[in-house]
Amino acid sequence: MICRVAEQAKAARNVARVIVATDDQRIVSAVAAAGFEAVITRSDHVSGTDRLAEITASLEDVEIIVNVQGDEPLISPETIERAIATLAANETTGIVTTWEPIDDAPDILNPAVVKIALNEAGRALYFSRAPIPWPREAVLEFGSIEMALRSDPGLLSSFRKHTGLYVYRREVLLQFASWPQSELERQESLEQLRALEHGVEILAIEASTRSIGVDTNEDLERVRQIVSSSEFRVQV
Q: What is the largest CA-CA distance in the chain?
A: 57
Q: What is the pLDDT of residue 71?
A: 83
Q: How far apart are CA 24 and CA 43, in angstroms?
A: 8
pLDDT of residue 17: 94
Taking CA atoms, 122 is separated from 88, 116, 129, 194, in Å, by 16, 10, 19, 19
Classify residue 149: in a domain, yes or no. Answer: yes
Angle at 124 between CA 118 and CA 128, to 5 degrees: 85
154 assigned to some structural domain: yes
Residue 236 lies in a domain: no
**Is 40 inside any structural domain?**
yes
Q: What is the DSSP letter of 35?
A: T
What is the rounded distance in angstroms from the CA atom of residue 46 to the CA atom of residue 191?
9
Q: Is residue 141 a part of any domain in this protein?
A: yes
What average pLDDT score do residues 147-167 get? 94
User: How do 202-206 and 95-101 pair as beta strands?
Assistant: parallel
Q: Say if strands 19-22 and 95-101 run parallel, antiparallel, or are unpaired.
A: unpaired
The pTM of the whole model exceeds 0.85: yes
pLDDT (0 to 100) of residue 81? 97
CA distance 92 to 167: 14
- The CA angle 139-127-45, to the nearest 5 degrees, is 145
Report yes or no on 232 lying in a domain.
no
Residue 233 lies in a domain: no
- Residue 142 sits in a domain whose CATH number is 3.90.550.10
Q: What angle do CA 171, 177, 179 make, to 5 degrees?
A: 105
- Residue 192 belongs to a domain: yes
Overall domain count for the chain: 1
Domain region containing 146: 2-227
Q: Which of 1-5, 33-37, 55-59, 189-193 has the lowest mean pLDDT?
A: 1-5
pLDDT digits (tens, 9 = 90+) for 182-229: 999 999 999 999 999 999 999 999 999 877 777 778 888 887 887 777
The Cα–Cα gap between 135 and 108 comes to 11
pLDDT tens, position by position, 41-97 = 999 998 889 999 999 999 988 999 999 988 888 889 999 999 999 999 999 999 999
Altogether, the residues listed in the chain come to a count of 236
Task: Assess whether pLDDT exceeds 70 at residue 231.
Answer: no
Mean pLDDT rounded to a whole number for the chain? 92
Task: Give the other-Cβ count within 10 Å of 104's Cβ.
Answer: 11
Distances (CA, A) of 211 to 2, 14, 26, 52, 76: 14, 20, 26, 22, 8
